[in-house]
Chains A and B, each alone.
Chain A
Amino acid sequence: MPGTSPHQVTQLLLDWSNGSQAALDELIPLVDRELHRLAHHYMRQERAGHTLQTTALVNEVYLKLVDQKHVHWKNRAHFFALSAQLMRRILVDHARKRNYAKRGGGANKITFDDVMVVSPSPGKDLVALNDALERLAAIDERKSRVVELRFFGGLSVEETAEVLGVSPLTVKRDWSMAKAWLYNSLNNEA
């Protein structure tokens, strides 16, 4: 499948941030396509018995979705933030829809860790995480943004620091606290 032009995505992101619903409608299938391409890649790898070694692939997806080279450095942070919001929105919607479709289908209570890839109803996790992230935002806005940028936006610690205008150390500290809080929140509460 031919790649999505990052340039076009950048424009759509901008349109979306300016309130264009149409831009979102165009972005969703682009992200979906990358998502399914990635999923398909995993399936093929597993069938072939390969271990899942995909960091480069995931990075490529993010690169496709934000035109890092061509965005002016001042706008860079803005685009990173937008793309993280976009991914969050689309992926969570995606998961929500699947939960809806699977409702009553014996969705199991899952533990939220990396093993979740084998849980039968993993879509639920992203929804639950999203809810928890909203609760975290009410307590500590910046920490929830750190999670949004890193987990949904795929940004490195340094990039996250750039977007938020804080030091990388702060991002690391925020991250460890937020991660523990979210993990606890998902596994021990509610």
Chain B
Amino acid sequence: MKPERWQELEKLFQDALAQPPEKRAQIVQNANEDLRPHLQALLAAHEQAGTFIESPAIDVAARNIAKLKERSIIGKVIGHYRLLEQLGAGGMGEVYLAQDVSLGRQVALKFLPSDFTSDLERLRRFEQEARAASSLNHPNILTIYEIGESDSSRYIASEFIEGVTLRERIAGKPMSVDEAVDIAMQVTDALISAHSKGIVHRDIKPENIMISGGGQHGQKEGHVKVVDFGIAKLTETQTSGTDLPTRPLLSTSEGITIGTAPYMSPEQAEGLKVDARTDIWSLSVVLYEMLSGHVPFEGATRSRLIVSILEKEPRALNDLNENIPAALAWIVRKGLRKDREDRYQTAREFQNDLKEFRKRSEVADARTDDKHGVTTTRVTDTSSRRSRRFMLMVGAAVIAVTAIGLGVKYILPKFIAHTAATPFSKFNLTRLTTHGKASSAVISPDGKYVVHVIGTLEQKSLWLRHIATGSDKEILPSNGSDISNLSFSPDGNHIYFVRATSADNVLETIPVLGGPSHVIIHDVDSSASFSPDSQRFVFVRGDPRNKSASLIMANAEGIGEEKLITHKIDDFFFGTAGNPAWSPDGERVAVALRGSDSYTNVVVIDLKSHTEKRLTSQQWNAIHSICWLPDGTGVLITAIDAERKNTQIFYSAYPGGNVERVTNDLNNYEDLSITSDGSGAVTVRSEGESDVWISSIDDLTNAKQITSNKFDGVGGIAWTPDGKLVHSSNESGRRDLWLMKVDGTDNHQLTANAGLNLVACVSADGKYVIFNSNRTANGSMNLWRTNIDGSNPTQLTFGGHDVAPQCTSDNQIIYTSDAQGHGSIWKIPAEGGKAARLTDYYSSAVAVSPTDGRIAITFLDDKATPVRRRTGVISPNGGFPATVFDFPALFGTLGPGFYGQIISWTSDGKSLTYVDTKDGVSNIWSQPVAGGPPKQLTHFNSDLIFYYAWSRDGKKLALARGRKTSDVVLIKDLQGKTGN
């Protein structure tokens, strides 16, 4: 269109718009013939266009994306799960069938509703509960694999069961007595296990009981899985569920919304604090419903239902279904006693009666003396003489069982099929110790004994536990040295351990039942693993002077050493010592080695050819233990994976190298050993707790706790110039940095949705937070910077492993990099730019003096005897340390990745402070740099110090304090890798 015609068209268009619509036709009529159709079209378009392009493009684009996402979430990968199909949706959120793309298995992925995830308080409680629930490993409990987060949506990944819910199975009709009892007994199995760990379900109902259809996952038809342990209640939304007439959402005094009304216990209805007995009530309601097709308590409204639960007795089961034996009806009624003191007290009691019922249900005419009746119970329904007689019979049976005690053996119905599709998809964990101070453990080859180390760093003793009886015997008392790296000789007669002192690491042996220990060999840096014939063993020895380490074979007396392989020292000792494992056929040794990709994997050395071959290809930061399955077809490994940063158990097939996760929870599993028949394994499971505390220089010991998320500060604390605190916390579900006021208020997140974020320092001008993050795609740790408000995250370094930033008063950052294959100290401007190297020897920076910029470092002193890590002070420009100190080592007290001292300068730049931990209690000491005796600054008498930082004026001390508990755990029923 020519410009003049366009202008004319526009004029006509605007003139027309200036007129009311009915008069526009006139203008169109008067228009030039060649312009008329254009004008007509434009005016029509004007009428139709409505809100077209009125919303900004980004709004339109974002809505489009939202729509597309909603539609096409199937096929999408969330975390490491590909969504396959939607299984259900409701108040509890949406559930999808998904494929775990890293492990290949199918999982159920449940997304939490958005209003739920926006409520931080509920979210926090949910994560606590889910964390507890995820530790449950029981064949009748749906296994939670992971509680994850992606694009700010939270999800729970769990085992996927093909089957129906009990709700669908009941379908409003009575089930057979046998099936109902079978299902109830399986649920009691689940409850026994969960209650023993202190976890109450709180919402047992048919919707939360899954029955597998059979035919897959090696489970027989009718296998029961209880879902949503301890979390169902927490994820319910205010608007959920219209399937039931009443669905009260009362709040308890703790503010927890409580369950589905018809299954709710009287104590729940009253809003009281609940315990395990609430599950017994709810299961009894479920059993009643299975037997009769009706729930025992009903009400047209919520309040009527509650009245019914609190006051009314249910209709007798026999009235509803003649086929129900009275004994069973009695059991159900006992489970439905209003006063929980009168109910079955434990799921075990409940189960025992069900078992007894099953055994005795044939002897319906058995005569029972009324005197043995259960006269103390408030039986309000005595609908028939017949039912009463059976009731008494069951009561008598219970008493008889109690009298005989544990001697009575039942023939347990076998619910667990023994052909798992996935290796180790099922196993039972039993805690053998509860003192929380186990640091190392090994199971004897015959599975009868567990030897474990109890105690804190310097005070370790060796104990023998006889598993069957639970008796303990101290076989090696503490003498002030560190004991670790336990192993058994294959014949089970001797225990080997490494005793570490400041001078040497010595491999010693002691007879299983105690006696004098004797030294086998000096300078040992791993556990010893024996050949099947007990004639030789292998171990790792580091040679710090030559920066190398070797896997060495020696005979059982510790002589005739032969080096099998030699590598750079860090390849063996990156993280933890690479404990070797001799294969059951005697032909090879598996050992942990760091590869060129910086990850640690299992390498297998062929003893004939001395060749090494990498077995696994995982992104593990470190491997703690390796043990072979007795048939040599695979190894079990405890390793820290790069993503999660906790130590978990994995399985790798041999020689295939396919790796599967065995555990998937938030605990750490360290030592690992297995019996010679593979029927049991032992590990040390540890959990940590850390919160931020503040104290003042006037009274450093009088510290005040300011956070309570149980994982605060352990990854670092830093002060801002204006006296706020940056700290690392797991509050978001990930390790992120948060900024808060010194009283703990105004706490807000600085980093989010991006890897691990920890170990911060704040620039001298208060503008930036410098921190470690592994958020980039390759997962390597680098230095990052954000503005103090968390905005503008910027990557500062791009090396393979750049860590531990220290901010200087002239806006530089001192950090440690392993750019040269070993730690060395570097400097980079906070504004970014080129990094300069300050040291070229094995060293890491720990603190920068606030007054003169001198740098406190830890370094490997290869001129000292023995060669060891020491602390030194170097000039701001690098070089070698002029002043050297031996501060106590802190190995073991900190989490993975933290194995050095925590050193800081006092604000006057005259002293270094450090942590000394004795008997599980940490305190801070100061050491004048110019010399003189150290001085104890804090006098705490409990808890470990994981991190601390002095305020810039030196008047306040922020501490990450807490506990680390570790206990020995027995793994039973590890299912073989048949069909693998």
Q: Give A152 to B14 CA distance when docked, in angstroms.
A: 24
Residues of A within 8 A of B971 (CB): none
A91 with B787: CB separation less than 8 A: no
B63 with A48: CB separation less than 8 A: no
B376 on interface, CB distance cutoff 8 Å: no
Which chain B residue shows the least CB distance to A9? B792
Q: Give A31 to B753 CA distance when docked, in angstroms.
A: 17
Which chain A residue shows the least CB distance to B793? A2
Question: Which B residues, 105 to 146, have Cβ-Cβ distances below 8 Å to chain A?
Answer: 113-115, 118
Residues of B within 8 A of A176 (CB): 13-14, 17, 46
A40 with B66: CB separation less than 8 A: yes
Once A116-B64, A180-B46, A188-B41 are accepted as A-B contacts, the answer to whether A34 and B792 lie under 8 Å apart by CB is no
Residues of B within 8 A of A3 (CB): 789-791
A109 on interface, CB distance cutoff 8 Å: no
A184 with B752: CB separation less than 8 A: no
B409 on interface, CB distance cutoff 8 Å: no
Q: Which of B51, B62, B70 contacts A46 (CB 8 A)?
A: B70
A5 with B792: CB separation less than 8 A: yes
Q: Which of B48, B65, B793 contacts A39 (CB 8 A)?
A: B65
B907 on interface, CB distance cutoff 8 Å: no
B41 with A5: CB separation less than 8 A: no
Per-residue CB contact flags for chain A residues 110-141 toward chain B (1 = under 8 Å, else 0) read 00111011101011011001000000000110
B50 with A114: CB separation less than 8 A: yes
Which chain B residue shows the least CB distance to A185? B45
From B52-60, B444-452, B695-703, B893-901, the one touching the partner chain is B52-60
Nearest CB of chain B from residue A35's CB, rounded to whole Å: 5
Q: Give A44 to B58 CA distance when docked, in angstroms.
A: 17
Residues of A within 8 A of B64 (CB): 39, 95, 116-117, 122-123, 125
A112 with B52: CB separation less than 8 A: yes
Once A1-B752, A139-B1, A176-B17 are accepted as A-B contacts, the answer to whether A184 and B792 lie under 8 Å apart by CB is no
Nearest CB of chain B from residue A126's CB, rounded to whole Å: 7
A177 with B10: CB separation less than 8 A: yes
B67 with A54: CB separation less than 8 A: no
Nearest CB of chain B from residue A184's CB, rounded to whole Å: 4
A38 on interface, CB distance cutoff 8 Å: yes
Q: Which of A35, A114, A139, A154 contacts B52 (CB 8 A)?
A: A114
Per-residue CB contact flags for chain A residues 11-32 toward chain B (1 = under 8 Å, else 0) read 0000000000000000000010
Candidate in A39, A40, A54, A184 with the most chain B CB atoms within 10 angstroms? A39
B113 with A117: CB separation less than 8 A: no
Closest 10 CB pairs of A and B: A2-B790, A38-B62, A184-B45, A39-B65, A122-B64, A154-B56, A114-B51, A42-B66, A44-B114, A183-B49
Once A117-B63, A180-B43 are accepted as A-B contacts, the answer to whether A40 and B152 lie under 8 Å apart by CB is yes
A163 on interface, CB distance cutoff 8 Å: no
Q: Give A147 to B151 CA distance when docked, in angstroms.
A: 32
Once A40-B152, A177-B10, A179-B46 are accepted as A-B contacts, the answer to whether A95 and B792 lie under 8 Å apart by CB is no
Residues on B facing A (Cβ under 8 Å): 1, 3, 6, 10, 13-14, 17, 41-46, 48-71, 113-115, 118, 151-152, 750-753, 786-787, 789-793
Residues of A within 8 A of B41 (CB): 184, 188
Which chain A residue shows the least CB distance to B64? A122
A152 with B65: CB separation less than 8 A: no
Per-residue CB contact flags for chain A residues 35-61 toward chain B (1 = under 8 Å, else 0) read 110111111101110001010001001
A154 with B58: CB separation less than 8 A: yes
Residues of A within 8 A of B793 (CB): 2
Q: Give A67 to B64 CA distance when docked, in angstroms.
A: 27
A94 on interface, CB distance cutoff 8 Å: yes
Residues of B within 8 A of A112 (CB): 52
B61 with A126: CB separation less than 8 A: yes
A161 on interface, CB distance cutoff 8 Å: no
A8 on interface, CB distance cutoff 8 Å: yes
Which chain A residue shows the least CB distance to B786? A2
Residues of B within 8 A of A140 (CB): 6
Q: Which of B13, B58, B752 contacts A91 (CB 8 A)?
A: B58
Nearest CB of chain B from residue A139's CB, rounded to whole Å: 6
Residues on A facing B (Cβ under 8 Å): 1-5, 8, 31, 34-36, 38-44, 46-48, 52, 54, 58, 61-62, 87-88, 91, 94-95, 98, 112-114, 116-118, 120, 122-123, 125-126, 129, 139-140, 147, 150-154, 173, 176-177, 179-184, 187-188
Candidate in B62, B118, B753 with the most chain A CB atoms within 10 angstroms? B62
Once A180-B49, A184-B42 are accepted as A-B contacts, the answer to whether A5 and B787 lie under 8 Å apart by CB is yes
A2 with B62: CB separation less than 8 A: no
Nearest CB of chain B from residue A128's CB, rounded to whole Å: 12
A38 with B45: CB separation less than 8 A: no
A48 with B69: CB separation less than 8 A: no
Given A58-B55, A122-B68, 10 further pairs, Cβ under 8 A: A3-B789, A42-B62, A94-B61, A114-B54, A118-B67, A152-B57, A177-B42, A180-B45, A180-B46, A184-B45
Q: Which of A40, A44, A126 contacts B57 (CB 8 A)?
A: A126
Which chain A residue shows the least CB distance to B792? A5
Nearest CB of chain B from residue A24's CB, rounded to whole Å: 17
B61 with A34: CB separation less than 8 A: no
A2 with B59: CB separation less than 8 A: no
Q: Give A44 to B151 CA distance when docked, in angstroms.
A: 11
A43 with B66: CB separation less than 8 A: yes
Nearest CB of chain B from residue A75's CB, rounded to whole Å: 21
B62 with A113: CB separation less than 8 A: no
Nearest CB of chain A from residue B733's CB, rounded to whole Å: 14
Which chain B residue shows the least CB distance to A36? B65
Which chain A residue shows the least CB distance to B71? A120
Residues of B within 8 A of A183 (CB): 45-46, 48-49, 52
Nearest CB of chain A from residue B269's CB, rounded to whole Å: 29
B49 with A179: CB separation less than 8 A: yes
Which chain B residue shows the least CB distance to A140? B6
14 A–B contacts from the bound complex (CB under 8 Å): A4-B792, A35-B65, A43-B70, A48-B115, A112-B52, A114-B50, A114-B52, A116-B64, A117-B67, A118-B67, A129-B53, A173-B10, A179-B49, A187-B48
Q: Which of A39, A98, A114 contacts B62 (CB 8 A)?
A: A39
B6 with A8: CB separation less than 8 A: no
Once A43-B66, A43-B70, A177-B42 are accepted as A-B contacts, the answer to whether A35 and B56 lie under 8 Å apart by CB is no
A42 with B63: CB separation less than 8 A: yes
Residues of B within 8 A of A91 (CB): 57-58, 61
B61 with A2: CB separation less than 8 A: no
Which chain A residue shows the least CB distance to B56? A154
Q: Which of B10, B50, B63 contacts A113 (CB 8 A)?
A: B50
Q: Give A4 to B46 CA distance when docked, in angstroms.
A: 38
Candidate in A36, A120, A183 with the most chain B CB atoms within 10 angstroms? A183
Nearest CB of chain B from residue A55's CB, rounded to whole Å: 8
Q: Give A188 to B69 CA distance when docked, in angstroms.
A: 30
A122 with B1: CB separation less than 8 A: no
Nearest CB of chain A from residue B788's CB, rounded to whole Å: 11
Nearest CB of chain A from residue B189's CB, rounded to whole Å: 36
Nearest CB of chain A from residue B398's CB, rounded to whole Å: 50
Which chain A residue shows the least CB distance to B7? A140
Candidate in A118, A179, A182 with the most chain B CB atoms within 10 angstroms? A179
Nearest CB of chain B from residue A124's CB, rounded to whole Å: 10
Q: Give A2 to B55 CA distance when docked, in angstroms.
A: 25
Q: Give A41 to B6 CA distance when docked, in angstroms.
A: 42
Which chain A residue shows the least CB distance to B44? A184
Q: Which of A94, A95, A118, A152 contacts B56 (CB 8 A)?
A: A152
Residues of B within 8 A of A52 (CB): 63
Which chain B residue shows the least CB distance to A154? B56
B58 with A8: CB separation less than 8 A: no
Candidate in B1, B10, B71 with the most chain A CB atoms within 10 angstroms? B10
Once A2-B751, A180-B13 are accepted as A-B contacts, the answer to whether A35 and B58 lie under 8 Å apart by CB is yes
Q: Give A150 to B55 CA distance when docked, in angstroms.
A: 9
Which chain B residue shows the least CB distance to A181? B42
